[in-house]
């Protein structure tokens, strides 16, 4: 093909409305409707060279009507939500509806991306397989070019769908975030709303002026309801009778026996099982809440069904039902958890005096909360004026604040008490102590806010304190109850524990680990539920939190990097499965296949180790591919690191690789008794660079991992904790050797920590220069704890030899003196008397 023809073709391709450019991609003009703005651009790696694609035919881009229809409907839903959020006033119900729509869009988008991604990968792979090499471009057939053109068109169209879906996912998350921000803004405005101050005299004048009208409206409302009940006495009596029958059902003999079994707590019992204590507390809360709650609920619905509950009164009755149920729940919960007068049944560590003083205050606090709910419903029904609303809300807030102050005062230490030290220690162990300063701060802030005109803030703080107290007590109760239930279920004699041991073949330790894991998961779930219950009053919706967590789980971006915890978790699972499969294959080779071959033991060990390394490498590669890392990039980074390794990191990398070998091959492990050179000790920790060994002199020796791999290491506990010890002793040459051997074997055989199998034995090891040298050999079960057996054997040998009269000779040495004649002459000369001395004496 000459140069002029190439130029003409290039110009035609540039100016023609073909759906393909020079690189074989679909042009935006030929894309399906709705895809033009989202048409992606392929990377340099995916783009096809113009020299190879210049002869590709023109192929229209395929259309995916179902997927595009879904994208368009989701886009309209998000447009509607964004337009609704622009309004200044928006209700909580509307926000919830918009949040549900955004959640449905996110779920649908993720499902669509999950469906399209495998298809896109398949099309990309098929197109890459049909791509010709530089030498085969001219000889490629028209059918292959046409097929490749269709694949490239389908690829670009699918990329457009996926990219539009990802864009909608981002928009849906932005809508959800905007809804959360709007909800928090509404909450902040409602809490910080300013009302008339109760310290202002004009407020009381306005209140006095509005009270008569409000009282008359309330009296008229009550009279209408009374007249309605009086006009239909049979129906009214029927509703009350139905509620009474429901309550009496709890006091029939079966229900009364169950209540007496679980709700009665003997104060004389000192110790009792955790399940019995937590179960009794739960039963008290259940009975104290369900009986009045169910009775009021039945009465409410019965009055509505019988037509004797007007609509304007139904709100007040419903508030009465909710408030009374909460008051019963709060009171019974405080009684169950604090257990006044019954310290052995108490779920938290506080003094008896504190428990007996706090429970009545908790009962009053519950009924104050119920009164607040009832008063608010009544004010809404009679359309009470602002002054009356402010007065009622401020009054309830102040009552709650002073009740909280009394509760906090009950927890304060008594300075005149003789048992102040013991009480302070008990109080110091209680988690409630940490809430006392925060409680004082909140109570004082409530009083000041109610007095200064921020009644809404005072009402919120007192309500939040009440909810936090209820949530914390419920968390304590449910936490101890779940822990006790799991412990009893997985106990050694429990039904589940026996099933797991007998059917699943698990050991006691494995069953306990499963129980601990389940208990931890339950505790985590309870803490999450408690957090949601507290945050719900702060304008934070659980759907918003779960949506954010779900979006972050499936992927979040930091700069240009996208991190997907779900992909990371999947990669970890793939890695664990791959390593488990590798270990299983190694066990099969070592236990079944390799013993049937004629290979020697060294070759078998090498095969087993090589299979382990290969399996781990493959598992790592698959896990990295699953998480989306490009192995070519990793190879480039590894190549760059090799330059640094060659210049200055040889020692560090050597120790690092040696540490990996130690962890994988495990020639030594934590707790092993080893000898490295002249040092003997116990392995305490295997780090990435070095291994810590604790000697018997309580000295920590840090040994580089490379020395443990390349040097000689004696491991007394490798493969087995059992080891052979030997004790050597010498006797005189006139001793009967058979008697000595018999004594040595008898001493070892009687020691309780010396193993009978392998059988101990003793030998006459050598004819020494001074004695007959005997050695007794025996095994111990655990060299780490039984190394002192050798010392016991030596002491017993010394005692038995002395008792049997067997001599342990001392070292004998022959002394040879040179020039003995001269030495004798000197001594002889020194012994003669001096002649001059003798004459003088005479």
Indicate the helix (H) or strand (E) that contains 562: strand 561-563
pLDDT above 70: residue 793: yes
Please enumerate in sequence order all residues whose Cβ is within 8 A of that of 570, keeping only pairs 6 or more positions apart, or say none: 626, 627
How many residues in total does the chain contain? 842
CB 338 within 8 A of CB 418: no
User: Hey, what's the torsion of the CAs at 475, 478, 480, 484, to 10 degrees?
Assistant: -160
Residue 737's SS3 state is helix
Q: pLDDT value at position 842?
A: 42
Report the C-alpha gap between 732 and 771 in whole angstroms: 5
The structure tokens 């955004």 sit at: 102
Average pLDDT over residues 673-689: 84
34-43, 262-271, 482-491: which is most confident: 482-491
Most distant pair of Cα atoms in the chain: their distance = 166
Digit-coded pLDDT (tens) for 611-634: 887 888 888 888 877 776 666 666
Q: Please, which pLDDT band fits residue 201 given cuts at 50, 70 and 90?
A: confident
Q: Please, which pLDDT band fits residue 417 given cuts at 50, 70 and 90?
A: very low
pLDDT above 60: residue 252: no
More confident residue, 349 or 133: 349
In 423-581, DSSP assigns E strands to 556-558, 561-563
Is the peptide bond between 419 and the residue preceding it cis, with omega within 30 degrees of 0?
no
pLDDT above 70: residue 238: yes
| Mean predicted lDDT score pLDDT of the chain | 77
Q: pLDDT value at position 262?
A: 64
More confident residue, 503 or 305: 305
Residue 781's SS3 state is coil
pLDDT above 50: residue 428: no
Q: pLDDT value at position 119?
A: 84
Average pLDDT over residues 135-163: 79
Average pLDDT over residues 357-377: 90
CB 408 within 8 A of CB 440: yes
Q: Please, which pLDDT band fits residue 29 given cuts at 50, 70 and 90?
A: very low
Indicate the pTM of the whole model.
0.60
- The full 3-state SS of 530-559, as one line of letters, equals HHHHHHHHHCCCHHHHHHHHHHHHHCEEEC
Among 493, 571, 479, residue whose Cα is nearest residue 521:
479
Backbone angle region of 479, left / alpha / beta, with phi > 0 → left and psi within -120 to 50 → alpha: alpha
Q: How large a percentage of the chain has pLDDT more than 90?
A: 12
3-state DSSP percent of the chain in helix, strand and coil, to 5: 70, 5, 25
More confident residue, 693 or 557: 693
Residue 787's SS3 state is coil
Report the C-alpha gap between 38 and 32 in whole angstroms: 11
Q: pLDDT value at position 408?
A: 87
Q: What are the residues facing 802 on neighbouring strands?
A: none
Q: How large a percentage of the chain has pLDDT more than 70?
A: 77
Q: Encoding tokens for residue 469?
A: 């107290």
Report the C-alpha gap between 587 and 735 in whole angstroms: 54
CB 563 within 8 A of CB 556: yes
For 31, counting Cβ atoms within 10 Å of its Cβ (0-12 exposed, 13-18 middle, 19+ buried), the class is buried
Q: pLDDT value at position 427?
A: 45
Q: pLDDT value at position 237?
A: 73
Digit-coded pLDDT (tens) for 700-757: 899 998 888 888 888 887 777 788 889 999 999 999 999 999 999 999 999 988 998 8
pLDDT above 50: residue 23: no
More confident residue, 630 or 211: 211
DSSP 251: T
Q: Please, which pLDDT band fits residue 511 given cuts at 50, 70 and 90?
A: confident
Digit-coded pLDDT (tens) for 536-547: 777 555 555 555
CB 670 within 8 A of CB 694: no
Report the C-alpha gap between 833 and 841 in whole angstroms: 12
For 135, counting Cβ atoms within 10 Å of its Cβ (0-12 exposed, 13-18 middle, 19+ buried), the class is exposed
Digit-coded pLDDT (tens) for 552-597: 555 555 545 556 676 777 788 888 888 888 888 888 888 878 887 7
Least confident of 372-381, 656-665, 781-790: 656-665
Average pLDDT over residues 666-681: 84
Among 412, 402, 411, residue whose Cα is nearest residue 447:
402
CB 682 within 8 A of CB 785: no
Report the C-alpha gap between 813 and 770 in whole angstroms: 9
Average pLDDT over residues 13-42: 38
The structure tokens 């259309």 sit at: 63
More confident residue, 492 or 53: 492
CB 173 within 8 A of CB 554: no
Residue 194's SS3 state is coil
More confident residue, 306 or 84: 84
Q: What separation in angstroms does the CA of 302 have from each of 222, 233, 609, 722, 795?
A: 19, 14, 76, 78, 91
For 406, counting Cβ atoms within 10 Å of its Cβ (0-12 exposed, 13-18 middle, 19+ buried), the class is middle
User: Beta 761-767 vs 772-780: how paired, if at all?
Assistant: antiparallel
Please enumerate in sequence order all residues whose Cβ is within 8 A of that of 397, keeping only pairs 6 or more positions apart, or say none: 446, 450, 455, 458, 459, 461, 462
Report the C-alpha gap between 628 and 121 in whole angstroms: 13
Q: Please, which pLDDT band fits residue 778 given cuts at 50, 70 and 90?
A: very high
Q: Please, which pLDDT band fits residue 398 given cuts at 50, 70 and 90?
A: very high
Q: Please, which pLDDT band fits residue 399 given cuts at 50, 70 and 90?
A: very high
Question: ∠504-505-510 over CA atoms, to 5°?
Answer: 95
More confident residue, 411 or 541: 411
Please enumerate in sequence order all residues whose Cβ is within 8 A of that of 114, keeping only pairs 6 or more positions apart, or say none: none
CB 446 within 8 A of CB 462: yes
For 151, counting Cβ atoms within 10 Å of its Cβ (0-12 exposed, 13-18 middle, 19+ buried), the class is buried
Average pLDDT over residues 249-263: 61
- Compute φ and ψ for 47, nearest 5 degrees: -65, 140
> CATH for 667-715, among 3.40.50.1950, 2.30.30.60, 3.30.360.10, 2.30.30.40?
2.30.30.60
Domain 723-804 falls under CATH 1.10.287.310: no
Q: pLDDT value at position 139?
A: 65
């Amino acid at each position: 093909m000459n140069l002029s023809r190439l130029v003409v073709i290039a110009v035609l391709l540039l100016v023609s409305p073909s759906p393909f450019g020079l690189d074989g991609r679909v042009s935006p003009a030929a894309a399906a409707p709705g895809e033009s703005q989202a048409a992606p651009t392929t990377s340099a790696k995916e783009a096809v060279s113009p020299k190879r694609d210049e002869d590709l035919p023109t192929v229209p881009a395929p259309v995916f009507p179902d997927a595009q229809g879904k994208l368009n409907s989701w886009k309209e839903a998000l447009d509607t939500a964004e337009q609704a959020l622009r309004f200044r006033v928006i209700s909580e119900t509307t926000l919830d509806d918009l949040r549900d729509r955004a959640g449905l869009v996110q779920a649908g988008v993720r499902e669509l991306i999950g469906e399209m991604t495998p298809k896109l990968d398949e099309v990309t792979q098929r197109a890459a397989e049909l791509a010709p090499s530089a030498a085969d471009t001219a000889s490629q057939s028209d059918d292959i070019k046409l097929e490749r053109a269709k694949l490239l068109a389908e690829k670009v169209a699918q990329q457009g769908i996926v990219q539009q879906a990802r864009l909608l996912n981002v928009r849906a998350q932005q809508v959800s975030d905007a809804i959360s921000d709007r909800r928090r803004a509404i909450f902040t405005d409602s809490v910080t709303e300013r009302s008339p101050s109760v310290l202002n005299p004009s407020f009381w004048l306005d209140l006095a002026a509005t009270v008569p009208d409000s009282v008359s409206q309330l009296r008229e409302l009550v009279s209408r309801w009374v007249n309605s009940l009086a006009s239909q006495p049979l129906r009214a009596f029927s509703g009350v009778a139905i509620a009474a029958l429901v309550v009496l059902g709890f006091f029939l003999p079966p229900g009364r026996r169950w209540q007496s079994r679980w709700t009665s707590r003997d104060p004389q019992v000192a110790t009792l099982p955790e399940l019995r204590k937590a179960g009794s507390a739960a039963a008290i809360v259940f009975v104290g809440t369900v009986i009045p709650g169910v009775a009021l609920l039945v009465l409410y619905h019965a009055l509505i069904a019988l037509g004797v509950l007007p609509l304007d009164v139904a709100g007040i009755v419903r508030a009465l039902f909710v408030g009374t149920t909460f008051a019963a729940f709060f009171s019974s919960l405080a009684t169950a958890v604090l257990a006044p007068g019954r310290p052995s049944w108490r779920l938290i560590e506080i003094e008896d005096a504190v428990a007996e003083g706090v429970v009545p205050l908790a009962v009053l606090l519950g009924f104050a909360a119920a009164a607040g709910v009832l008063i608010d419903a009544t004010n809404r029904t009679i359309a009470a004026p602002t002054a009356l609303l402010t007065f009622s809300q401020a009054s309830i807030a102040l009552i709650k604040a002073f009740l909280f102050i009394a509760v906090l005062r009950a927890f304060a230490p008594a300075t005149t008490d003789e048992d102040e030290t013991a009480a302070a220690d008990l109080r110091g162990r209680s988690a409630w102590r940490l809430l006392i300063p925060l409680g004082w701060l909140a109570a004082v802030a409530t009083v000041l806010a109610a007095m200064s005109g921020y009644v809404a803030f005072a009402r919120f703080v007192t309500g939040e304190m009440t909810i936090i107290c209820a949530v914390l007590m419920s968390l304590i109760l449910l936490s101890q109850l779940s822990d006790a239930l799991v412990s009893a279920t997985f106990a050694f004699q429990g039904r589940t524990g026996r099933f797991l041991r007998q059917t699943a073949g698990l050991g006691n330790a494995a069953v306990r680990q499963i129980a601990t894991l389940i208990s931890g998961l339950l505790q985590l779930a309870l803490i999450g539920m408690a957090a949601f219950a507290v945050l719900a009053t702060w304008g934070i919706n659980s759907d918003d939190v779960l949506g954010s967590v779900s979006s972050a789980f499936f992927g979040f971006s930091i700069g240009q990097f996208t991190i997907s915890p779900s992909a990371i978790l999947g990669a970890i699972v793939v890695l664990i499965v791959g390593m488990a499969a590798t270990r299983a294959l190694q066990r099969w080779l070592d236990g079944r296949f390799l013993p049937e071959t004629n290979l020697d033991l060294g070759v078998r060990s090498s095969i087993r180790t090589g299979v382990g390394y290969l399996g781990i490498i493959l598992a790592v590669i698959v896990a990295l591919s699953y998480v989306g890392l490009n192995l070519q990039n990793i190879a480039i980074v590894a190549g760059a690191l090799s330059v640094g390794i060659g210049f200055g990191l040889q020692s560090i990398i050597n120790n690092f690789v040696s540490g990996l070998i130690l962890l994988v091959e495990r020639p030594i492990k934590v707790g092993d008794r080893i000898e490295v050179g002249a040092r003997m000790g116990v392995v305490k920790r295997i780090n990435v660079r070095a291994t810590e060994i604790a000697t018997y002199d309580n000295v920590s020796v840090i040994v580089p991992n490379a020395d443990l791999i390349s040097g000689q290491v004696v491991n007394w506990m490798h493969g087995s904790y059992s080891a052979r010890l030997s004790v050597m002793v010498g006797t005189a040459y006139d001793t009967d050797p058979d008697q000595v051997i018999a004594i040595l074997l008898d001493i070892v055989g009687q020691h309780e920590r010396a193993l009978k199998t392998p059988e101990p034995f003793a030998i006459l090891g050598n004819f020494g220069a001074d004695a007959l040298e005997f050695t007794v050999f025996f095994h111990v079960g655990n060299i780490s704890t039984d190394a002192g057996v050798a010392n016991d054997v030596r002491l017993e040998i010394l005692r038995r030899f002395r008792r049997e009269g067997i001599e342990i000779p001392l070292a004998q040495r022959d002394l040879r003196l040179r020039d003995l004649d001269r030495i004798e002459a000197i001594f002889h000369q020194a012994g003669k008397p001096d002649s001059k001395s003798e004459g003088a004496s005479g």
